Amino acid sequence: MLPTPKKYFVTAAAAEGKTKLNAFDNALLAARIGNVNIIRVSSILPPGTEYDPELVFPPGSLVPTAYGYITSDVPGELIAAAVGVGISQESFGVIMEFSGRCTKEEAQAKVEEMIHEAFTSRGMIVAEIKAAAVEHRVRHVGCALAAVPLWY
């Protein structure tokens, strides 16, 4: 059984690379999660999880992460990614992520809309939203990434 995460932060970054995978890797580095092994998780923030924007991971760690990203090799294309954490008054939180060909404001608005719908579906009230978004105008091969890494 895996331990329940106790800390998290929100991050968003964009980068270029020679390939789509290198652009993704460079965006991970810019987002401060490039030297760990991210394990993609879905959308629930455990109850009582502490927001820690200065959180640092040991290199090579297995880090549960909710994330969205988009890569493009179309010069001039605008891409964006956003992530949001809806924190409830009652218990746990909900994480939503979005990426697309849009502005960072559009991506963040979509994430916030999805958070509100998720809370309505659960009969819960949103007390706070923490969000991060980024947009990137592709030069050669670009990536926009937004993530919520979780830690123990």
User: Is 26 annotated as catalytic?
Assistant: no
Judge whether 45 and 87 are in contact, CB under 8 Å.
yes
User: Is 99 annotated as catalytic?
Assistant: no
Annotated active-site residue in 16, 22, 26, 42: 42
Annotated active-site residue in 26, 72, 97, 99: 97
Distance separating alpha carbons of residues 73 and 52, to the nearest angstrom: 34
User: Is 43 annotated as catalytic?
Assistant: yes
Burial, 23: exposed, middle or buried (Cβ in 10 Å; 0-12, 13-18, 19+)? buried
User: Is 35 annotated as catalytic?
Assistant: no
Annotated active-site residue in 22, 26, 35, 43: 43
Annotated active-site residue in 22, 26, 35, 37: 37
Annotated catalytic residues are: 37, 42-43, 97
